[in-house]
Structure 1
Amino acid sequence: MTESWAAFRAAEPEFADLVRARFGAFQHHVLATLRPDGSPRLTGLEGDFRGDELWLGMMIGSRKALDLRRDPRFSMYANPGTGTGMSGGDVRVSGRAVEVTAPEEFARYASGAAEGEVPERFHLFRAELSEVVRITIEDPYIVFQVWHPGRPLRTIRRLDEDSTVHEDE
């Protein structure tokens, strides 16, 4: 089961805003796709939030675009930034990339761009989410916030030294 960014935000607005802000802190992120042999491919990508959607744009014929055309499953990890502070936490979204081919959808995407920002030819995918994860440190805990479509947000606190787990209701 997958949901659009808009549906995720409607279900968990505060969490969605935290995740979006974390992606917004840097321009470049890491996209994981699956190669033809099933092994992972990690590449850089600029995730783009426009019109309450998460879009993935790629150069024509790029390996990552061809991966997604063959197998739409992906994960995108927010740029961790510099240093070791984990400011805003580690954030990852996973799901399916739905290729956009209809001219009206390209136009909808392009309508939010500055003049000259959208290339003439490119692959465009809309993200449909199956999981959103944010990991932070709240001493003495490592805190996992996990969202799946159709389920409430889960918060799990794990003590680092003995792996004791405490889950919020």
Structure 2
Amino acid sequence: MNWAAFAAAEPALADTVEARFGAYRHHVLATLRKDGSPRTTGLEVRFLDGELWLGMMPGSLKALDLRRDPRFALQANPGDGTGMGGGDVRITGRAVEVEDPRTRAAYAEEVEPPEPFHLFRTELTEVVRTRVEDDQYLVVEIWQPGKPVRTVRRT
């Protein structure tokens, strides 16, 4: 499921997540190395034309990881740690490399990445928002394709 489908299914959560990612330029991407161990790296993300895009420098290890195993986790930058307005958000899914010249050209026109670049569109498998409510409850909202948002409250 792409970003547009998620946003149509859960518009309030999608707006919150997009705003959280929009609050900072750099975020943390987790990929899997050849040996299966995790690799975390910085990354800029873009929400354009109903898709969540991951653009990367050519030959970057994270791009090579995704070519080999498309699973990823994307964590929004928590900022300075004092506010976390909108909560903490994480997106997991699969990254699909885009080779289509027209799609790449449209992305490059909008984002103006350094050339050349790798471009991946995402297929979401989970979106999670964690926040504190009333200074006493930890609230976790979990969305997965085909299911409504599940909310867990902990004291």
Whether TM exceeds 0.5 here: the answer is yes
1:52 matched to 2:47? The reply is no
Larger Cα-atom Rg? 1
Partner of 2:148: 152
Partner of 1:40: 38
SS of 2:110's partner is coil
Partner of 1:136: 131
Partner of 2:11: 13
CA distance in structure 2 between the partners assigned to 1:68 and 1:83 by the alignment = 29
Q: Which amino acid aligns with 1:17?
A: D
CA distance in structure 2 between the partners assigned to 1:69 and 1:145 by the alignment = 30
Residue 119 of structure 2, aligned match among 121, 124, 135: 124
Residues 80-125 of structure 1 show CA distances to partners (whole Å, capped at 9, x for unaligned) of 0003332211100000000001112212323433xxx222210000
CA drift at 1:153: 0.8
1:99 matched to 2:94? The reply is no
SS of 2:54's partner is strand
CA distance in structure 1 between the partners assigned to 2:102 and 2:69 by the alignment = 24
CA distance in structure 2 between the partners assigned to 1:19 and 1:43 by the alignment = 20
Q: Percent identity between the aligned chains?
A: 67
Q: Which amino acid aligns with 1:146?
A: I
CA distance in structure 2 between the partners assigned to 1:143 and 1:94 by the alignment = 19
Gapped runs of 5+ residues in structure 2?
none
Contact 1:91 1:132 in 2 (8 A): yes
Residues 114-147 of structure 1 show CA distances to partners (whole Å, capped at 9, x for unaligned) of xxx2222100000110000000001321000110
SS of 1:126's partner is strand
CA distance in structure 2 between the partners assigned to 1:83 and 1:70 by the alignment = 34
TM-score, normalised relative to structure 2: 0.96
CA distance in structure 2 between the partners assigned to 1:118 and 1:34 by the alignment = 24
Q: Which amino acid aligns with 1:124?
A: L
Contact 1:31 1:76 in 2 (8 A): yes
Q: Which amino acid aligns with 1:149?
A: P
> After TM superposition, where is structure 1 displaced by more than 6 Å over at least 4 residues in a row?
none
Residue 87 of structure 2, aligned match among 89, 100, 114: 89
Q: Which amino acid aligns with 1:131?
A: E
Residues 9-56 of structure 1 show CA distances to partners (whole Å, capped at 9, x for unaligned) of 010011100000000000000000000000000000001111121100
Q: Which amino acid aligns with 1:133?
A: V
CA distance in structure 2 between the partners assigned to 1:85 and 1:21 by the alignment = 14
In the TM superposition, what are the counterparts of 1:57-96 in structure 2 within 5 Å? 57-96=55-94
